[in-house]
Chains A and B, each alone.
Chain A
């Protein structure tokens, strides 16, 4: 009985939450991207929602994934280009890198060696990471572009297509 009450209460809270934000949480374009709360290499947690106000590219990758590693140089270029885009409106661009690495040294060394300056988080659980399940990731690289309110703008775009999509939403 107590469990039932708790479940109902939880459902009410969840539904109220989604009403407040106006968009249901999900993985479709137009949905609110599911929250991610994971530690950085230093151990402090950075949540996806803490980046509200910025356009965010959630980049799922791993040092063991060759195409992901290849893509990091391009992400560095995009980050440099858009990081301070539209500062007047209080907007900006952030990359929230979620690594599916299993071992911390691999992940940390790659970040240091390649001087990655955007947010990097990981639970170091490889394919067992709950976030892989939440985001229904079937393979890497995978990414999700969200707007300043955390609403999904695009999924799994790379290269020129990704850049065009960012430009498109910044120029709105």
Chain B
């Protein structure tokens, strides 16, 4: 009887661990690697130097603040994600692409994951997420990096 109970307990415990795991390890399950995070200073440097090859920069959040970026709209919405997909469909898979939102820290941003997952699923090979850990104000505007008009 006791063993049965213990077995059940262990089973229940294991199941609960499996179920709750995604909530605890959210950061590790992000659809990007640390190497895919692009430092704002690095992008600013490229944008400020017209001679260097320019990436295609998509704003996948509320507003296209980064200079020269294309406004897709929040990719948490299916229609915006679809817009992005259609634009990406016309590009070679090795295109240099940067996406950014900057509304909120990554842990709370509803837009970065759908966009990065799309790029991954479409098998692009050279795409980055602009690393705005706080938001576009703190990590871009306040730094004086180039902005759209």
Contacts and interface: CB of A to CB of B under 8 A. Distances in A.
A139 B138 CA distance: 8
B147 to A, nearest CB: 8
A125 to B, nearest CB: 8
Interface stretch (A18-26, A29-37, A59-67): A59-67
Among A65, A102, A132, which residue has the most Cβ atoms of chain B within 10 A? A102
Contact of A64 (B62, B134, B138, B141): B62
Given A62-B103, A127-B141, A128-B141, A138 B63 contact: no
B69 to A, nearest CB: 13
A123 interface: no
A126 B62 contact: yes
Contact of A137 (B103, B104, B137, B147): B137
Contacts of A137: 137
B63 A102 contact: yes
Between B63, B65, B108, the greatest number of chain A beta carbons within 10 A of the residue's beta carbon is seen for B63
B102 A127 contact: yes
B60 to A, nearest CB: 12
Nearest to B147: A128
Interface string B8-51: 00000000000000000000000000000000000000000000
Interface in A37-85: 62, 64-67
25 contacts: A62-B103, A64-B62, A64-B104, A65-B104, A66-B104, A101-B62, A102-B62, A103-B62, A126-B63, A126-B65, A127-B65, A127-B102, A127-B103, A127-B135, A127-B136, A127-B137, A128-B65, A128-B141, A132-B137, A137-B137, A138-B134, A138-B135, A138-B137, A139-B105, A139-B138
Range, interface on chain A: 10 to 19
For A64, A128, A132, the residue with the greatest tally of chain B CB atoms inside 10 Å of its CB is A64
Interface centre among A127, A132, A139, A140 (most CB of B within 10 A): A127
Interface in A120-172: 126-128, 132, 137-140
A128 B108 CA distance: 20
A104 B27 CA distance: 33
Contact of B103 (A65, A103, A128, A138): A65
Contacts of A101: 62
Nearest to A68: B104
Nearest to B105: A139
A131 to B, nearest CB: 11
Interface string B137-149: 1100100000100
Contacts of A66: 104, 108, 110
A64 B61 contact: yes
Interface in B58-95: 61-63, 65, 74
A67 B63 CA distance: 20
B80 to A, nearest CB: 12
Can you list the 6 inter-chain pairs with the closest CB atoms, starting with the nearest? A127-B137, A102-B62, A102-B63, A126-B63, A127-B136, A64-B103
